[in-house]
Amino acid sequence: MRKYFKNIYLGFSTIWIGMMITLKHLLFYKNITIQYPEQRLQLPERERNRLYVNIDDCIGCDQCVRACPVNCIKIETIKAVPGDKVGKTGETSAGKKKALFVPKFTIDFAKCCYCELCVFPCPTVCIYMTDVFEFSEFQRNDLVYDFTDLTKEQAEEKRKKAEEWALEMQKKKEAAAKKPPEKKVPLKPETNDKNKSDESPDSKSDDKPSKDS
């Protein structure tokens, strides 16, 4: 019998206490909602959202590609012919010499996992994360961003140039060193090979560029 009344008492009292708490919130607490489109949070500077590549500074060194666990960065590089300036100045803002054109630098933001692993190894600090997160799209392909500053034609032209030059160099070398003929300079710059991985995703064991970074 005592339990009976204790139950009634407990029921009412605990419910009452709970109700008082919600009432307190109803009446006295400030609403903490961030009214998004009108009101925005001040995002911290370390915010990790969409990547940005400052292509002017990029030297095409491929470090970011190797670090990425998801393989969503794709770079193609073309060796610059001597005398040809890469970018406007041919140098990064820190004054480093740029030797490679980057005709293709795409990041697929539909795949990227925003882990920031690609940011740290970059020698020129030209790939970094911004606080832009509002870029939803109706089409998935629109989420693939290309950061290169070269147009297709330009890239084509540079490629041709590089190939011609490479051929020339090769010939020169052959002429210079006829005795050791095995030593061949590869036709394309080395970096290019490493970007093929995206075509064959499941042959994972050997085409992973980041294997021995």
Partner 1 sequence: MEQFLIDTFGDNILTYIIMPVPVLIFLSLFALGAVLAERKVSAYMQDRYGPNRVGKGILQTLADMIKLFQKEDITPAKADKLLYNLAPFIVFTATFMGYAVIPFCSLYIGADLNIGIFYFLAITSLSIVGILIAGWASNNKYSLFGAMRAVAQIISYEIPTALAILIVVMIAGTLSMQEIVELQGGGILNWFIFGGPGGATKYILLPFLFAAFMVLYISTLAETNRTPFDIPEAESELVAGFHTEYSGMKFAMFFFAEYGQMFAVSAIVATLFLGGWQSPFGELIPVLNTPVAQIIWFILKGCIFVFVQMWLRWTLPRLRVDQLMILCWKYLIPVSFINLFAVGLYIVL
Partner 2 sequence: MGILNKLDSKVEQFESGNIIITSADKLLNWARLSSMWQMSFGLACCAIEMMATAASHYDLDRFGIIPRPSPRQSDVIIISGTVTLKMATRVKKLYDQMPDPKYVLSMGSCSNCGGPYWEHGYHVLKGVDRIIPVDVYIPGCPPRPEALLEGLIHLQEKIRSQSIAKKVS
Partner 3 sequence: MAELKTEEMILNMGPQHPSTHGVLRLELVMNGEIIEDVKPHIGYLHRCFEKHAEAMTYPQVIPYCDRMDYLASISNEFGYAIAVEKLMGIEVPERVEYIRVIMAELQRVASHLVAIGTNGLDIGAFTPFLYCFIDRERILEIFEITCGARLLYNYIWIGGVSRDIPEDFQKKVKDFVKYFRPRIKDLNNLLSYNKIFIDRTANIGVLPPDVAINAGASGPTLRGSGVKFDLRKDDPYSIYDKFDYDIPVGEGEKGTVGDCWDRYMVRVYEMEESLKIIEQAIDNIPEGDVLSAVPKRVRPQEGEIYFRTETPRGELGYYIISDGTVNPKRVKARSPAFCNLSLISQISQGAMIADIVAIIGSLDIVLGEIDR
Binding residues for partner 3, per CB under 8 A?
7, 10-11, 14-15, 17-18, 21-22, 25, 32, 43-44, 46-48, 67, 69, 113-117, 120, 129, 204, 208, 210-213
Report what 17 binds from partner 3, partner 2, ligand SF4, none; CB cut-off 5-8 Å by kind: partner 3
Query: Given the rule CB under 8 A, which of 7-15, 81-89, 92-100, 140-148 is the region that contacts partner 1?
Result: 7-15
* 72 binds ligand SF4, rule: CB under 6 A: yes
Of 26-45, which residues contact partner 2 (CB under 8 A)? Answer: 31-37, 40-41
Rounded to whole angstroms, how far apart are CA atoms 109 and 129? 12
* 110 binds ligand SF4, rule: CB under 6 A: no
CB of 130 to partner 2, least distance (A): 13
First to last CA, the chain: 76
* 16 binds ligand SF4, rule: CB under 6 A: no
Of 152-171, which residues contact ligand SF4 (CB under 6 A)? Answer: none
Sheet of 100-108: strands edge to edge? 73-79, 100-108, 144-146
- Closer CB to partner 2, residue 82 or residue 201? 201
Tokens of 24: 């307190």
Q: Using the CB atoms, write b or e for 99-124: b if 16+ within 10 Å.
A: bbbbbbbbbbbeebeeeeebbebbeb
Q: Phi-psi region for residue 146, left (φ > 0), alpha (ψ -120 to 50) or beta? A: beta
- Smallest Cα–Cα separation from 159: which of 91, 80, 86? 80
CB of 15 to partner 3, least distance (A): 7
* 168 binds partner 2, rule: CB under 8 A: no
Rounded to whole angstroms, how far apart are CA atoms 163 and 14? 81
Of 71-100, which residues contact partner 2 (CB under 8 A)? Answer: 71
* 18 binds partner 1, rule: CB under 8 A: yes
* 3 binds partner 1, rule: CB under 8 A: no
Who contacts 119 (Cβ-Cβ below 8 Å, separation ≥6)? 51, 64, 127, 128, 129
